[in-house]
A = this chain, B = another copy of it.
Amino acid sequence: MIKKYTYGNPFFTESVVASFEASEGMPEVGTVNLDDGFSFLYDMKAEDAVYGLGEANRGINKRGYKYISNNTDIPNHHEDVYSLYASHNFIIISGERTFGLYIDYPSSLVFDIGYTKMDELHIFCDKADLDLYVITGESIYDIVKQFRQMIGKSYIAPKFAFGFGQSRWGYKTPEDFAYVVKKYRENHIPIDMVYMDIDYMDHYKDFTINEAFGDFSEYVEELKKENIRLIPIIDAGVKIEEGYDVYEEGVANNYFCKREDGSDFVAAVWPGYTHFPDVLNPEARKWFGGKYKLLTDAGIEGFWNDMNEPAIFYTPEGVCDVKEAMREFIDKDESVDDVWGIRDMVADLANNAKDYASMYHNVNGKMVRHDQVHNLFGYNMTRAAGEALREICPEKRCLLFSRSSYIGMHRYGGIWTGDNKSWWSHILLNLKMLPSLNMCGFLYTGADLGGFGCNTTRDLLLRWLALGVFTPLMRNHACLGTREQECYQFEQIEDFRHIIGVRYRLLPYIYSEYMKAALNDEMMFKPLAFEYPEDRMAVNVEDQLMLGNEIMIAPVYTQNAIGRYVYLPEDMMLVRFKAEGDIEQTEMKKGHHFVEVPLNEVILFIRKGKCIPLADFAECVADINTKKLQLLGYAGSSYQLYDDDGYTRECNLKMSRVIFNN
């Protein structure tokens, strides 16, 4: 059951598609106080766990920390970080009373989940203008399903997007991209996509291609012949440059975000000074989305939207203040406070709250200050693309994912979890985010495998890939200036071929489970707690996940480990993809196990009485023979396989067939 409570005058975020009558009075759980903004208090019991928040830091169980919904370009995901790139305000409290809460509020919102007081859940924000949904149900999972139905169907990616992709900030010329393709293909490491980071553009101008490419559509076509799709990045900021059509059209039609005085808001990002398309304005959104056609016309079938928190490096106003402060500093006998003051002031130019408070949207003719709707920008930039692509290519799905998001965006695209690091702890963070993202409708998702920032190591990449084998988005991506981390850069390339090869062999299963989750409003990845709520041990597992209805995954995420502990909440079949290609299946009993996992192996666990399909090795998605599948798992079981052409927009579970493991 879903009850909606409306406070003040909420901004219409369109995150919820179902409509609900607002209930009167107080919610039956917790205490709402409107004396000073909005505050929701709930006394947690000692054993209560809290799930959700989508892309958020820390555990599967969110208890014991503080989280702030405030979309931020933050490349350093330390344990103490409160805000990441996205705001997904849905949580479930599980315990004596189990219920879900969705707070539809697009500005800064704090979830203090037993951080300040060990047993207190406190949700609060400055303005009491929001919709609160309280969801009760038969189980945690029932609540998730109700929520998912309320927010609408998840985006469905084309099948090629389930292949492996290589990315790196720094690829610039056709030769750069061709080299990557050549190395993967000649080493027989499967791959379907090469991502184009900002340097493919002409001076970072959206919807342009740098001159090195010559005839871009010809180049796109050439790579497609090798079953490689190029996936360009699109940034939020439109370069200010006379003669650049996107800029000129935007200015002429008032499609950019404004300052209070009505002039176009200016912020520096990669191209230098830019304007932001006002994606909260339906007309501007339509216009900006239409620009993607410049690239689809060249044969492009997928995009990633970036910098759409929106990130701001600095504004002219901020720089002006800094220069004034520098003038004073120059004339001073500097003290420690002076030096640190100027240092912090320059560092704080980026993503400064003051700038977000001086930017405006035109929402149906009304000026809305950006900071009051901040968390909707990435959502609506991706919505712009999603809506446009549906018109541009009505006959087929396009790949689309975003860095920043809010619930509602899950209907238009996926997300990657932003600029992580080559840290072992980020493998685990990647795993922990998967179910919470699924709870919020984000199914097409994954992290930068191997880590974006910092220098990776061979073993880190291999272990991370062995998790990435299971995530819909499987991409190796790294930052300019870091160690080169394409799989062919390392010793014993056959290990990489093997691990990514396992992904391609499992792809029919992964695609099938993804599609079922999308079409049935299910979670593809679940915490064990959702499947085995009565098993106290399972409920507390933070480093294993259920994938679909058939398998459990338990990746290794520590360096120099020979294996890891795994808890089996029921009897399961350990499947081991050995480096030489052999597959070993071992029945294991419910309980605790130490499982050895060499660096070049992938393991998974099949639930009792289940089986999964396995294809032959292939080097690209198009070459996977879904007619020729073997089954792994328990004899006498069956599996319902969903499959399709990989691009039709009209998907239906009737397209699935049952296959038997005799």
A residues bordering B, Cβ < 8 Å? 49, 58-59, 61, 63-65, 78-80, 115, 117-118, 268-270, 272, 313-314, 319, 323, 326-327, 329-330, 334-336, 339-340, 342-343, 346-347, 349, 421-425, 453-455, 457-459, 490-492, 536-537, 540, 542, 558-562, 565, 567, 592-594
Partner of A339, one of B59, B319, B455: B319
Nearest residue, chain B, Cβ from A62:
B560
Query: Is B542's CB under 8 angstroms from A80's CB?
Result: no
Bound Cα distance from A491 to B270, whole angstroms: 48
Not counting A59-B560, A565-B592, a sample of 7 additional A-B residue pairs whose C-beta atoms are within 8 angstroms of each other reads: A79-B454, A80-B454, A80-B455, A118-B459, A268-B336, A313-B339, A319-B334
Which residues on the B side are within 8 Å of A340 (C-beta)? Answer: 313
Which residues on the B side are within 8 Å of A63 (C-beta)? Answer: 559-560
Bound Cα distance from A335 to B273, whole angstroms: 8
Bound Cα distance from A80 to B562, whole angstroms: 22
User: How close is A338's CB to chain B, nearest CB, in angstroms?
Assistant: 9
Which residues on the B side are within 8 Å of A59 (C-beta)? Answer: 559-560
User: How close is A272's CB to chain B, nearest CB, in angstroms?
Assistant: 6
Query: Is B423's CB under 8 angstroms from A270's CB?
Result: no
Query: Is A423's CB under 8 angstroms from B78's CB?
Result: yes
Query: Is B313's CB under 8 angstroms from A336's CB?
Result: yes
Show 29 A/B contacts (Cβ-Cβ < 8 Å), sorted by A: A49-B560, A64-B559, A78-B423, A79-B423, A79-B424, A79-B454, A80-B422, A80-B423, A80-B454, A115-B457, A117-B491, A118-B459, A118-B492, A269-B336, A272-B336, A313-B336, A314-B334, A319-B334, A319-B339, A323-B329, A339-B346, A346-B346, A347-B347, A536-B562, A537-B594, A540-B562, A565-B592, A592-B592, A592-B594
Partner of A343, one of B336, B346, B421: B346
Q: Which 4 A-B pairs have the closest CB atoms?
A: A80-B454, A79-B423, A326-B326, A565-B565
Bound Cα distance from A319 to B342, whole angstroms: 11
Query: Is A421's CB under 8 angstroms from B61's CB?
Result: no
Query: Is B314's CB under 8 angstroms from A323's CB?
Result: no
Partner of A457, one of B65, B540, B542, B592: B65
Copies assembled = 2
Nearest residue, chain B, Cβ from A423:
B79
Given contacts A336-B272, A559-B64, contact A458 B343 (CB under 8 A): no
Which residues on the B side are within 8 Å of A558 (C-beta)? Answer: 542
Bound Cα distance from A457 to B79, whole angstroms: 12
Bound Cα distance from A542 to B536, whole angstroms: 26
User: How close is A200's CB to chain B, nearest CB, in angstroms?
Assistant: 18
Given contacts A61-B560, A562-B536, contact A314 B329 (CB under 8 A): no
Which residues on the B side are within 8 Å of A329 (C-beta)? Answer: 323, 326
Query: Is A421's CB under 8 angstroms from B64's CB?
Result: no
Nearest residue, chain B, Cβ from A66:
B455
Nearest residue, chain B, Cβ from A540:
B562
Query: Is A335's CB under 8 angstroms from B272's CB?
Result: yes
Query: Is B80's CB under 8 angstroms from A336's CB?
Result: no
Bound Cα distance from A327 to B560, whole angstroms: 51
Given contacts A64-B559, A272-B335, contact A78 B421 (CB under 8 A): yes
Identify the interface centre among A80, A490, A592: most chain B CB within 10 Å of its CB: A80
Which residues on the B side are within 8 Å of A61 (C-beta)? Answer: 560
Which residues on the B side are within 8 Å of A342 (C-beta)? Answer: 346
Bound Cα distance from A44 to B342, whole angstroms: 49
Which residues on the B side are within 8 Å of A593 (C-beta)? Answer: 592
User: How close is A203's CB to chain B, nearest CB, in angstroms?
Assistant: 12
Query: Is B339's CB under 8 angstroms from A314's CB?
Result: yes
Given contacts A79-B421, A421-B79, A457-B65, contact A339 B565 (CB under 8 A): no
Nearest residue, chain B, Cβ from A426:
B79
